[in-house]
Structure 1
């Protein structure tokens, strides 16, 4: 009798694994929601011949879903190979039905950062910058280690005298603080440690570039097995032309704290002045500097105007590319059907 273990072969396009679960989990369908500065959430339906999978076997367990795609090996031979791995923790579990042969389940896969919305706190942080506050919460309250997160910032942020967290969950609190100063985050996977990693950036240097896909309209043409883009739409709107900020620093009561910023430097398709009072800054900053001092009046005015400008153009499209993720710049090649915004990169 052979002592070799049986060879398992799966026809699944995608693979699901949960730490500590030895049962085979066959992916039936999944639906995901991903965006910058927001924990992703994937609801994955699966079946198993094990009728006794319990919530204790699933919830709070490390899990991964491997997206696979056929890769051409030459001579017309294509083999399913991993193209992207989503790593996280199981935050939801469902039992949907059962038959004699198998049971239908579903789970929700999210990064560990998503668990921070279960922690509501009241706290005061003194003499700390925004990145320091976030790191303190991750390390001391949620046991994150150095390999679990990465700060890749281009600016040095000043220490704040006092920051209060009152009745907010930790996820909302750190997301709000980071958003105030223009720091965004995304999630990656460490394939060596099999963990999800949250990465923090404050500039476009954090975007991954280099992905170009062809436009293949669904009108009788064939993509020849190459990932493509179709159904492209652009929606444009008139937004605020400039932002004005004003504040008062009692320690320097006579200092001019008024700032006005137009981040586009004269875009003729914008209109109006958005006035904001008391953004809680101590220095005016330079309105003519493209990179004003962090947390100055000009800094907040530019951040707010960039936020308005974000609504100037909205795009949507459909793609067959399984490796596309938030924080990646996509360029679309093609003919007249490709609008300029897609050809330049979105």
Structure 2
């Protein structure tokens, strides 16, 4: 009697590690990977090799790919050929870590860490000034000029048009933390994808829920035995709820118009009075100069209402957290997963994958744990804010002028100066080394004190309002 049930053949080579310029045979033993929105992925991959003396230089900083394939399938009919494995998904990046774990008579066991090129930005620590650039322009400048990224290596697809900022300071932060801080400030999220044609990792930047990958369907049932991607399932689904902040209030101080009036006060409630939220979160000193329209569908970028809504979306991202397990090797952050069958309503309506952890070993099958948030038309995923460095004390600078060897430094109608920071290595035009900076001076009497002009080249001590590196005086 002929068995018509297809058999899935267990094959240790379902996971393939390829390191450019490496000729040693690499047999994957186990791996654990983590991926998340607005974070570089990280894969720890154990492998064995008959070559016992692989040198670190053969691995570190080499481009590499890690491919997950489907299992081979035997149709169970004598005259039908075995269906060979097919690639399900490839991850491209660079080898950032290398270990020799053990050595036996026949082979050695190693481990490598595979990360996207973006992760290497954490090894670059800088002190720098950026002037008259928007947040996306600053990020692109760093990627292109400092790290050699080209047009095919990243993509900006943004719903908002972001204004150019007068000045932004990077003070001792590594480049990855710095750009993640700027992106989080304005609600831009990113994901790392793969270009299988060019065999490279690509960073994609978005700021709207319309840029999720929609309609990924998987059935709800417990896994049983070996399976291919077409048999991928979801199980172990959990939904956690908690009370979060009900509304947001913001206020800013702008010295350009420092009159005591409430024009820079704004409020936002994205839920419009949802009774499962509570309280007010008051955020002081978000950097904006216009309050914005609280009733606009899409308020002006970097206005007070814009920041208030972003704050509330971050809180609302924590209100409902979803968790589950799957055997799908193609589920990635940024997808909208809809679970079919007997599943909680939040999973059936659509869950936005925000984080995954996947793993497999020679003696165990592939498995993935994921976390998600419910899809919403009004609440988008927003990365958590990264704290700015706190500027304690003062830093040295010298008064600047547009004329070489000028007697006095340049001064504007409000008595502000431009200065050249001692740490800044950028070659700015003469007299254009900074934004206009206020001068602290005696203030008393009917005519508001006095002003002794500073000479060009005068050493000054620059302090920062609230320790904020973007608010020098």
- TM-score, length of structure 1 as denominator length: 0.93
SS in 2 for 1:137: helix
Pick from 113, 124, 130: which aligns with 1:125?
130
CA–CA distance in 1 between the matches of 2:71 and 2:175?
41
CA shift digits 1:23-59 (9 cap, x unpaired)? 1100000001110000000000000111111100000
SS in 2 for 1:39: strand
CA–CA distance in 2 between the matches of 1:146 and 1:244?
39
2:310 matched residue in structure 1: 303
CA–CA distance in 2 between the matches of 1:39 and 1:187?
7
The answer to whether the Cα contact below 8 Å between 2:270 and 2:309 also exists between their aligned partners in 1 is: yes
CA deviation after TM superposition for structure 1 residue 131, in Å: 0.3
Cα gap change, 1:73 to 1:294, in 2 (>3 Å): farther
Pick from 82, 85, 98: which aligns with 1:93?
98
Pick from 237, 246, 268: which aligns with 2:275?
268
1:314 matched residue in structure 2: 321
CA–CA distance in 1 between the matches of 2:280 and 2:100?
54
CA deviation after TM superposition for structure 1 residue 223, in Å: 7.7
Stretch of structure 1 that moved more, 260-269 or 129-138: 260-269
CA–CA distance in 2 between the matches of 1:273 and 1:177?
25
CA shift digits 1:110-161 (9 cap, x unpaired)? 0000000000000010000000000000011111111111111111100000
* 1:25 corresponds to 2:30: no
1:4 matched residue in structure 2: none
Number of aligned residue pairs: 334
CA deviation after TM superposition for structure 1 residue 70, in Å: 2.8
Unaligned runs of 5+ in 1: 1-9
The answer to whether the Cα contact below 8 Å between 1:331 and 1:345 also exists between their aligned partners in 2 is: yes
Structure 1 segments, 4+ long, off by >6 Å, are 71-76, 220-225
CA–CA distance in 2 between the matches of 1:200 and 1:302?
19
CA deviation after TM superposition for structure 1 residue 92, in Å: 0.1
* 1:139 corresponds to 2:144: yes
Cα gap change, 1:302 to 1:71, in 2 (>3 Å): farther
* 1:149 corresponds to 2:154: yes
Cα gap change, 1:222 to 1:66, in 2 (>3 Å): closer
CA–CA distance in 1 between the matches of 2:157 and 2:73?
36
1:58 matched residue in structure 2: 59
The answer to whether the Cα contact below 8 Å between 2:222 and 2:233 also exists between their aligned partners in 1 is: no
Unaligned runs of 5+ in 2: 1-10, 352-473
CA–CA distance in 1 between the matches of 2:220 and 2:273?
33
Cα gap change, 1:222 to 1:64, in 2 (>3 Å): closer
Cα gap change, 1:223 to 1:118, in 2 (>3 Å): closer
CA shift digits 1:203-260 (9 cap, x unpaired)? 1122111211000036x89989610000000110000001000112233334611111
The answer to whether the Cα contact below 8 Å between 2:234 and 2:327 also exists between their aligned partners in 1 is: yes
2:340 matched residue in structure 1: 333
CA deviation after TM superposition for structure 1 residue 311, in Å: 0.6
CA deviation after TM superposition for structure 1 residue 74, in Å: 6.5
Q: For 1:1-346, list aligned pairs within 5 A.
A: 11-70=12-71, 77-217=82-222, 226-252=231-257, 253=259, 254=261, 256-335=263-342, 338-346=343-351
CA shift digits 1:166-214 (9 cap, x unpaired)? 0100000000000000101111111121111111011112211121100
SS in 2 for 1:143: coil
CA–CA distance in 1 between the matches of 2:262 and 2:54?
66
Higher-Rg member (1/2): 2
The answer to whether the Cα contact below 8 Å between 1:216 and 1:223 also exists between their aligned partners in 2 is: no
CA deviation after TM superposition for structure 1 residue 266, in Å: 2.2
Root-mean-square deviation over aligned CA pairs:
1.9
The answer to whether the Cα contact below 8 Å between 2:240 and 2:322 also exists between their aligned partners in 1 is: yes
CA–CA distance in 2 between the matches of 1:61 and 1:217?
39
SS in 2 for 1:147: helix
CA–CA distance in 2 between the matches of 1:73 and 1:170?
50
